[in-house]
Amino acid sequence: MTAPRVNLHAGLPLLASDLLHSAAIGNVINECEGKYLVPENLYKDVFRSKVNGNESSKNQDDSSKHLVRNVSQKNSLLLVSQASMLGSSTDLFVNPDRYVKRAKLRLQRFSELVGGSMLTVHLVITSQFEYLMSVFSDLPMSEVETMSRSAPSWAHLVEELDRSIPEHRFIVWDFERPKDTLFAFVLAMLETHNKEIKEKLRSICIQRYKLMSFSAEGKLLPNWQDIANRLDAQYEADLQKIMEMENVTLVQSQDA
C-alpha cells in the first residue's frame, strides 16, 4: 500500500490559522476525490501530544500510523493544517531561540509519525511589523515596541526547519499581500486542477481576504515608522535569504 502524500500547513501561529478548517473550504474539500483534511479534534487526539513531546507511550505512534493507513486506502493526499503546531506567537518574539528549538523537534516528531509519506511543509509568513501589529494589537504599544527589538528572523527559522527534515520539501508563502497569495496557497495545499473546484475556492478566498484587513490607527507610537522601517528591512533580507535556499520554494505575490 502506497503511503499518501502529506501537505502540512505548520505556521506561523495565528496567520491564516483556521483557513482550511472553515466550513466553506471544508465543504469544497469534501467534493475533492482522494483528499482528506485531518479535523482539528482528530489532530489533537492522534498527533498533538506526541508532536509536542508530552506523550511517552506508543499510543499516538500507533494511532497516527493507523490513521495514515486508513487514509491511504481511499485517499492519496493527507492535509494537516495546524498553524500553532511549531509553537506560540508570544515565543516567536519573546524567546525566538526557544521557539526555533521547539519547532525543529516538533517537525521531526510529526515527520516520524507520518512514516514513509512524502511530506511538504507549507509555512506562511508576513513582514515582522505586520505580524507584530496584527497578532499583538491588543497589547499596550509600549510592550509592542519592546517586542519589536527581539523580532525573529524568518530566514533563520526556515533554515533550521529545513535542516531538521532535509529529506522533505518546504514551501514558504509570502503573505505580506495576502490578496495575491491566499488563493494560490489554498490551491497548492489541495493540489486541485478542477475548474469548478478552483472557482469555488477563488470566491471563498476573496471573501476571506476581506476579513483579514487590520487597522492600527490610534494604536501606533510616535516612532512607529522607525520600527516599521527596521522590521520591513529585516523582512526583505529574510525573503532574499529564503529565495536562495536550495530545498525551499518561496512564493511571492508576483509568483501566485
Q: Across 126-193, where does the E strand assignment appear?
A: 169-174
| Predicted local confidence at residue 10, as pLDDT | 93
Dist. CA 54–CA 51, nearest whole Å: 8
With respect to residue 107, please indicate whether it lies within any of the assigned structural domains: yes
Q: Answer yes or no: is 40 within a domain.
A: yes
**208 in a structural domain:** yes
Strand partners, 249: 171
- Residue 218 pLDDT: 47
Residue 213 falls inside a structural domain? yes
226 domain-assigned: yes
CB 23 within 8 A of CB 37: no
Model pLDDT, residue 162: 95
User: Using alpha carbons only, what angle is made at residue 21 by residues 247 and 67, rounded to the nearest 5 degrees?
Assistant: 70
Write down the pLDDT at residue 68. 72
Residue 124, φ and ψ in degrees, nearest 5? -100, 125
For residue 75, tell me if it sits in a domain.
yes
The verdict on residue 256 lying in a domain is: no
Exposed, middle or buried, 225 (CB in 10 Å: 0-12/13-18/19+)?
exposed
Q: Is 215 exposed, middle or buried (0-12, 13-18, 19+ CB in 10 A)?
A: exposed
Q: Is residue 192 part of a domain?
A: yes
Average pLDDT for runs of 10 along the chain of length 256: 83 82 86 88 87 68 70 81 90 89 94 86 92 76 77 94 93 89 92 91 83 52 76 94 95 79
Q: What is the pTM of this model?
A: 0.89
CA angle, 169 then 38 then 78, to 5°: 40
Query: How many domains are there within the chain?
Result: 1
Which structural domain, as residue segments, surrounds residue 123?
A: 5-251
